[in-house]
Structure 1
Amino acid sequence: MGALEKALTELNEVERMACTGSRMHSIDPRAKLIVTVIYIVVVLSFALDSPAGIILFWVFPIIVSAMSGISYNAVFVKSLYTLPFIMFIGIFNPIFNREPMLYIGDMAISRGWVEFVSIIIRGLLSVQAVLLLIMSTGFNRLCAAMGKLGVPSIFTTQLMLLYRYIFVLLDEALSMDRARTSRSYGRKKYGLKMWGTFIGQLLLRTVERAQRIHRAMLSRGFTGKILMRGNMHWRLCDTIYVVVWCLLFAAGRFCDVSGLFPFTR
């Protein structure tokens, strides 16, 4: 399976997971969205030189994945795709901040390395939380929940169309790649000139197809707002879900856990 086919398969797998039934799937999307936003805010509120406290928040994606019937290993692997971007954010911290902060035996670890690790941990946790939210809710229902919570419809509509455009882009790229493969006589790699031609044609084809889709939407009464089927009902279990997680987040944020790590200074 090629890279394009794999990417399209993984996106379809995310959509399939959002349609399964589990305790997590039955919770109101607004409750899951509120908890996820609070979780990300709390994780990012830690100081860069305090990675010990953030580690405790790894419990959240593990529990949520178990409630959703989704393998945490799969979520963790998907989150690693963003690791290069996360590492780029803190790559200069170890270079410019060399003040010793932690000691493992006689070995001193600089503050810059601690901050670098902290950035990686909080980045991975935030990505995993968002992935689980999408996998257990579905992107369309998530956008509908955002609309119910007061997010402007122009923003949620753009998000939904952008998400669908990813499928259009991958589908067109896959068709072009198959056509190239059938005419390449065994050549598996693109040359630099071929890449420029491929990307240009891909852009033109996806824009043309997107315009056709837009005209079809207008002919069916599209006015700039996508109407979602199904109603959302806030229940007592949704309130309990939000309250319990908020209490746990508050406890994890304000409790001192540095004593659990004897190598700290």
Structure 2
Amino acid sequence: MITVNCPALPEQILESELFGYVKGAFTGADKDKDGLFLEAAGSTILLDEIADIPVSLQTKLLRVLQEKEIQPLGQTSTVKVDVRVLASTNQDLEAKIAKGEFREDLFYRLNVMTVTMPSLDEIQEDIPLLSLHFFNEFVQEYKRKGMELSPEALQCLERREWKGNVRELQNRLNRAVLLTPGTIITPKDLLSPEELAEDSSISKVGAEVSVCVHRLPYNEAKEEVMSAFATFYLEKALTVSGGNVSAAARASGLGRQSFQRLMQRFQIQSGSFRD
């Protein structure tokens, strides 16, 4: 299959790339060149972001679909081609038709069978799998062996709103793998300073809570924030008391048994705070 990124090329270059040209067709055309439609003969050509093709070029593309033939630049005769055409876009083609920016007859020629890709918001359960796939790709590309994506980072990615869908997710991970100084990517490495401030990931008492918490239902978000606060508070009290549970309980205004129950609930061991 041959893939053509339509908006990446100016109109004149895109036309010559798709349909080819003969020697002398324009300045610099010193020999014949087959276009991508001829190269894809007997196979498939994918026109990526077809909504960005100029209207003048849409007319010539319509002829390919209707007559199954192309006319290279500078040639008076046509050439038959047998090729399957796939087209993709992230734009509303019917809206562009209404504005006169896309030919209606071309739309119906292309629209034999439509496959609508769901947004990431519709397939949140797939975000961790996609994230790990892109993460592993970039780790290999940038030779960052030993780098890990923390569970909290994966959780953050799953909760974010992805207006740019897969491409935005891919770019976030690309940047994180490239720029994270350590070997473990955390939520802070995935978000900009502005987004971190917006999510209020650091509470006023210093307890770090999961970013993207605002994407959770209220009760779940409350539980997560309270859990982060309680863990921070208990650990701080035990640090000050040197791991002495009775002293930490007194300083917290709690009974020893109540303090121990909280330690069990949040899986905190007093031995970790003793010298």
Relative to the length of structure 2, the TM-score reads: 0.21
Higher relative contact order (CA 8 A, sep 6+): 1
Of Structure 1 and Structure 2, the greater helix share is in: 1
Of Structure 1 and Structure 2, the greater strand share is in: 2
